[in-house]
Amino acid sequence: MWPLWCADLFLGRDPYDLTQPCDDAPEPDDFCYRSSEDKRIERYLNRPDIRALLGVDNAAGNFSMSNMKVNQDFAKSGDLLRTSRAHIEQLLERGVRVLSYAGTLDYMANHVSLLHALLTGLDY
């Protein structure tokens, strides 16, 4: 069963695509976007030849699309409440090209929040 806060907040909808139901019986610690595509991505990124190509240390463990322990530890650290604006401004000042990736039907990383909270009024 996926986290109860998800069920209450999204009324059974996938928070990464609100047009989709969250009914594919994901693992207990996963969000509801566990699809066959996600499993293919995990299998690919965990292949020894791909890990070697990417320079992944074996001590890092296997790649997974989500990890609720990491998610919860990240939230407990207070990092969800910190802005990345200064870091992005510094990257832009140095000429680093930045891709802002956000969805139109995505609650978790939606374009309205990104444009308003992060990109509007950047000082660079």
- pTM for this model (two decimals): 0.48
- Residues 44-56, mean pLDDT to the nearest whole number: 94
Q: Which residue has the higher pLDDT, 10 or 76?
A: 76
Which H or E run includes 43? Answer: helix 36-45
State whether 52 and 105 are in the same domain: no
pLDDT in tens, 14-32: 777 788 777 654 554 455 6
Which H or E run includes 18? Answer: strand 17-21
State whether 46 and 89 are in the same domain: no
Determine the structural domain holding residue 54 and report its residue range.
Answer: 1-82
Structural contact between residues 55 and 89, judged by C-beta atoms closer than 8 angstroms: no
Tokens of 42: 């995990």
Judged against a pLDDT cut of 50, whether residue 117 lies above it is answered with yes
State whether 94 and 45 are in the same domain: no
Structural contact between residues 30 and 66, judged by C-beta atoms closer than 8 angstroms: yes
Structural contact between residues 65 and 38, judged by C-beta atoms closer than 8 angstroms: yes
Structural contact between residues 55 and 48, judged by C-beta atoms closer than 8 angstroms: no
State whether 97 and 69 are in the same domain: no
